[in-house]
Amino acid sequence: MTVNEFVQQINEEGIYLNMAEKVALIEKGEISVVDVFHIVTSNNEPEAFYASWILNHYVDNHNLAVEDYLNEAVDLLPHIKRSGLLRLVLRLFVITPNWKIEKLGLLLDFCINTLTDMTIPVGVKTHAMSIIDRIAESEPEIREEVLLVVEEIYPYLSTGGKNRAGKIIKKYKRNNHS
């Protein structure tokens, strides 16, 4: 299957995507992970959204599949206009266990700006919080800043967002007292 045929299929199916069928195409090698990832990074709507949705389902069971491509995703983040696509791209960082991110500072800045932007939906913010927390695990010098930002936005979050934020606040306050 060519990339153009895949794009045509996902655009035609839209929200009625047969997700299992699309994931199976990747598993069978009929379309590659890198091809689907490049559809995402093209940032062309709606196919970028649908490809990201498919890729998230694939990565749920093949969690190392995109680890080598996440630096490209860091470059894409500031250019994503649609919150659904942004949420799905950020989720790729959350569900990929091993990062080889050379642009960690850019990713951190983007996620902090996402948290403090009150126009961005909570689902996006929750993934941004998870990414920031993960960066802070490996970069302890930023934990105090993370704590301040998360405490600042806490009152404005939904119940789910408050749950995630509360865990981060508790963890970093506990670490500050140990």
State the Cα–Cα distance between residues 76 and 134, nearest whole angstrom.
20
pTM (two decimals): 0.89
Supply 124's token pair.
Answer: 């996006």
* pLDDT score recorded for residue 160: 82
On the question of pLDDT at 178 being above 60, the answer is: no
pLDDT for residue 177: 55
pLDDT surpassing 80 at residue 111: yes
Q: Which of 95, 73, 97 is nearest to 85 (CA)?
A: 73
CB neighbours of 34 closer than 8 A, spacing ≥ 6?
A: 69
pLDDT tens, residue by residue, 53-87: 999 999 999 988 999 999 999 999 999 999 999 99
Tens digit of each residue's pLDDT (9 = 90 or more) over 31-58 = 999 999 999 999 999 999 999 999 999 9
